[in-house]
Amino acid sequence: LGTKYSEALNATVLDDNGRSVVMPMGCYGIGVSRVVAAAIEQNHDDNGIVWPEAIAPFQVSLIPLNIKKSPREKEVAEKLYADLTAAGIEVLFDDREKERVGVKFSDAELIGIPHRVLVAERGLDNGVLEYKSRRDGEAEEVPADDIVDFLKKKLGL
């Protein structure tokens, strides 16, 4: 900005010699793009972004293991998506039928969604779903009937 506004406001300071001089002005803005860049710089690993929950594009990534071949997985995942959405949780439901589960996992990690839920036949047979935190990377089994409350607790809702 130079001295345009400081001259108009008669904004002066004393220099090293004690003389009054008009101070040069500058400006610095913090916009969305800078906030995003700073968040990514501070929150990433070798697999991609690890979003802080407050600014994550989605809170939970919901991944059925084999949605194309398992009507049961599809049904459970669709119901869970509806239940989580109704509970106010932002969910990315990866219902792509042509992608392998490894691709879905990689994409979810790259995007940086903080929480992941896997719906798989084997887990359903045991009444559980697999939960994994993007930040600590530890997978754990959670009773399928408790998953909504479990996630609400994790998210502080």
The pLDDT of residue 34 is above 90: no
Predicted structure pTM score: 0.76
Biggest alpha carbon–alpha carbon distance for the chain: 82
Cα-only R_g, the chain: 25
Q: What is the pLDDT of residues 91-122, one digit of tens each?
A: 999 999 999 999 999 999 888 999 999 999 99
Task: Report the chain's mean pLDDT, rounded to a whole number.
Answer: 92
Hey, what long-range contacts does 135-140 have (CB within 8 A, 24 or more apart)?
135/50
Model confidence band, residue 45 (pLDDT cutoffs 50, 70, 90): confident
